[in-house]
Amino acid sequence: MNESREWSSQSIQAEINALRHKPGALLPILHALQDRFGFIPPDAVPLIAESLQLTSAEVHGVISFYHHFRTAPPGRHVVQICRAEACQAVGARQLEAHAKARLGIDYHQTTSDRDITLEAVYCLGNCACGPSVRVDNGVRGRVTPEAFDALLDELQTRPLEVIA
Amino acid sequence: MSIRVFVPRDTTALALGADAIANRLAREAAARGESITLVRNGSRGLAWLEPLVEVETPTGRFAYGPVALADIPALLDSGMLQGSVTHSLALGPTEEIDYLARQQRLTFARIGITDPLSIEDYRAHSGFRGLEAALQSAPPDIVEEVKASGLRGRGGAAFPTGIKWQTVLDTPADQKYIVCNADEGDSGTFADRLVMECDPYLLIEGMTIAGLAVGATQGYIYLRSEYPLAKEILDEAIAHAEQAGYLGENLCGSGRVFHLEVRLGAGAYICGEETSLLESLEGKRGLVRFKPPLPAIEGLFGLPTVVNNVLSLAAVPFILAEGAEAYATHGMGRSRGTLALQLAGNVKRGGLVELAFGTTLRTLMEEFGGGTLSDKPLRAVQVGGPLGAYLPESQWDLPLDYEAFAAESAVLGHGGVVMFDESVDMAEQARFSMEFCKVESCGKCTPCRIGSTRGVEVIDRIRADQNREANLALLHDLCETMVDGSLCAMGGMTPFPVQSALNHFPDDFQRAANGDRS
């Protein structure tokens, strides 16, 4: 997640052009944009609409329907806590309360130092070894409140270089 | 001669530190002058033993687990690389581990044994024999074979797979599609993930056979975005299969065509519903469609489409390679073959258990699962995901069979078994079921969209002791409305866990909600 997240109309259009020929291209395009920029820049909506011959309302409707897509930049790391039943059975509710208190934020918020964005997720497929937490693209298992604190230390003591 | 050492690379093993274990093993072995070859295999599905390290010896593979970084020097000192069984983490020959030896692994026969991305490994372990058989058969004969096997959809609805295929075969069109539903959103399930991460060619082979059977030349795997590792492995496996002639314009030199692409979902549970999934694949909001028309007749882009779960498609290569009879001899009643059960939640020995239909839930939870992780008494078990009923002890002797579960208003669903100990508050679980529906409803029909919101509110009032009896009556009534009036299973089945909590654990709705979880 340390690539440049600077976006421009040209770079957005390049991502769109690489995928617009695919049948049902909208989700692949949105994924490509979010993978590259960390979120869907607002300027992307009319460009996608024009390229796929949709209305801006249709594109916006798709972005807002899916929990995965975000329209504001996240923090340096995205931490998702599994809220689903298998993790509940081994203490996920206590973990989420601990995480919110420790970070001082709720779900869908970012810490003021922009280190961590906290999200809820419903199942990471690690249900035999919960509670589970996803940090960026990696999953952690058996995350006790103590393990969560250690994880935060790890994320915050090795900050990734931010390209200004 | 270099010793082969296996360290799994599936999500669960990695979540428990398998990469660090692999690095440390390589370093420590080198420091001792031992020559080892690390193989990053798939998981055997024995999740509680992960990271499970295996060593290949002249007498077979020996297992060690769960291995922590600090254990590695002592394990090597004990003679692990020679298969020694003196260390406390030594489990002996892998195949003789009771949990594994007692299973009937047909679909999962290969997982954990091979390097998931090695086509040579796949072929050496009976891979592509089903595809080779299919290439020698006429499409109607492939469909007949799948029908004769008795295979029913493993996603949850249990519709006969062969009949679905027959409908697509019989519907003329220039373009048809095979869509794999890999939006494994049910909590407590990870069998699809294991197939995709640990044996991806199995799914590729199953989808290719489906394409040959119905005359479809394009397949899509609709994969949930919560599974980034599965995406990476599938993309690589598809590229390898294309290079090796198992996908593309000329399947195994036969002149037949099948293309395959992975498409990512975007965190919407509803997209596991097949028509919502098709909308999403078309690039739209995942709104559920009215049925009819069936997807088999008007599916993706309005064309005939097979939509099957990962496990349904992954069962097909065995059926084609070994014959329908070999599959159908397993099971009970109308539930033929094997079911991939997933033990999850508060369980001592969680993991994948593939068994013929008919074993009881109690056998599964006690003899395989070993009871609760917390060692407190087991109180409730939710089978079949967030839309499945919570079962009290009086129902644990039910055989794992679609019809036996349906008779008790329960579902087997995708085979997820989530165990809860006595600390669970069933009113809180019922509230969560409604809350989940509220978050994940597609919004198209009113009973689901509004009913779930009102359901949360009513349960909150019950737990706050506001007009409790009247609100309990209202909740029962609301559940009936949602069951009878919703467009799809999301709103139609969300009441199942709620009603089961109300019926089997009524005391939990009679006390105040508080933080006391002891």
Residue pLDDT, tens place only, B251-267: 999 999 999 999 999 99
Q: Is A68 in CB contact (< 8 Å) with chain B?
A: yes
**Rg of chain A in Å (alpha carbons):** 18
For residue A163, pLDDT over 80 is answered with: no
CB contact under 8 A, B226 and A123: yes
Domain range summary for chain B, segments of one domain joined by + = 3-95, 119-328, 331-421, 426-509
Q: Which of 2.30.42.10, 3.90.950.10, 3.90.1150.10, 3.40.30.10 is the CATH number of B3-95? A: 3.40.30.10
Q: What pLDDT shows up at residue A2?
A: 41
- Cβ of A124 within 8 Å of Cβ of B188? The answer is no
For position B518, what pLDDT does the model report? 36
Domains, chain A: 9-65 (no CATH), 77-157 (3.40.30.10)
pLDDT mean by block of 10 residues, chain B; 518 residues: 95 98 97 97 98 98 98 98 97 98 98 98 98 98 98 94 98 98 97 98 98 98 98 98 98 97 98 98 98 97 98 98 98 96 98 97 98 98 97 97 94 96 98 98 97 98 97 98 97 98 97 56
Whether the pLDDT of residue A5 is over 80: the answer is: no
Phi, psi of B325 (to 5 degrees): -65, -40
Q: Does pLDDT of A159 surpass 90?
A: no
The interface pTM score, or ipTM, of the predicted complex is: 0.96
Farthest-apart Cα atoms in chain B, separation: 76
Q: How far apart are CA A53 and CA A51, in angstroms?
A: 6
pLDDT of residue A156: 85
Q: How far is CA B3 from CA B55, B58, B80, B84, B363, in A?
A: 7, 10, 11, 14, 38
- Determine the pLDDT at residue A158: 53
Contact B342 A128 (CB under 8 A): yes
Q: What is the pLDDT of residue B514?
A: 57
Q: Does B189 touch chain A (CB under 8 A)?
A: yes
CA B363 to chain CA centroid, Å, is 20
Contact A137 B228 (CB under 8 A): yes
pLDDT given for residue B516 in this prediction:
46
Set of chain A residues whose Cβ sits within 8 Å of the Cβ of B193: 125
CATH dotted code for B426-509: 1.20.1440.230
Beta-strand pair B3-6/A133-135: unpaired
Task: Name which of B269, B344, B440 is nearest A128 (Cβ-Cβ).
Answer: B344
Query: Which two tokens mark A101?
Result: 């208190």
Q: What is the pLDDT of residue B517?
A: 40
- Asked whether the bond before A131 is cis by omega within 30 degrees of 0, the reply is yes
Q: Does A134 touch chain B (CB under 8 A)?
A: yes
**Cβ-Cβ contacts under 8 Å, B345 against chain A:** 85-90, 127, 130
Per-residue pLDDT reduced to its tens digit, A65-114: 999 999 999 999 999 999 999 999 999 999 999 999 999 999 999 999 99
Cross-chain residue pair A140–B15, CB shorter than 8 Å: yes
3-class DSSP assignment, residue B56 = strand
CA dihedral B91, B96, B102, B106 (to 10 degrees): 110
* Residue B141, pLDDT score: 98
* Superfamily of the domain at B119-328: NADH-ubiquinone oxidoreductase 51kDa subunit (3.40.50.11540)
User: Do the chains contact at A128 and B263, CB–CB below 8 Å?
Assistant: no
* Direct distance between the N- and C-terminal alpha carbons of chain B, in angstroms, rounded to an integer: 56
Task: Answer whether B134's CB lies under 8 Å from B212's CB.
Answer: yes
What is the pLDDT at residue B262?
98
User: Which three-class secondary structure state does DSSP give residue A38?
Assistant: coil
- What one-letter code names the amino acid at A56? S
Is the domain covering B331-421 a CATH 3.10.20.600 domain?
yes
Contacts of B445 (CB under 8 A, 6+ apart): B288, B485, B486, B487, B488, B491
| Spatial separation of the C-alpha atoms in residues A66 and A59, rounded to whole Å | 12
A147 touches chain B (CB under 8 A): no
Closest CA to B498 of B454, B432, B450, B449: B432
A49 touches chain B (CB under 8 A): no
**pLDDT at residue number B98:** 98
Residue A11 has a pLDDT of: 96
Of the candidates A44, A39, A36, A45, the one whose C-alpha atom is nearest the C-alpha of residue A70 is: A39
Mutation target vs B (from A85, A94, A107, A132; most B CBs, 10 A cutoff): A85
Q: Give the per-residue pLDDT at A160.
A: 54
CB B316 within 8 A of CB B130: yes
Whether B50 and A130 lie within 8 Å, measured CB to CB: no
Per-residue pLDDT for A161 more than 90? no
What is the predicted pLDDT for the residue at B214? Answer: 98
B335 and B149 in contact (C-beta within 8 Å)?
no
* Cβ–Cβ contact B282 with A under 8 A: yes
Nearest to B227 among A66, A89, A125 (CB): A125
Q: Which of A22, A26, A27, A35 to mutate to test the interface with B (most CBs of B within 10 A)?
A: A27
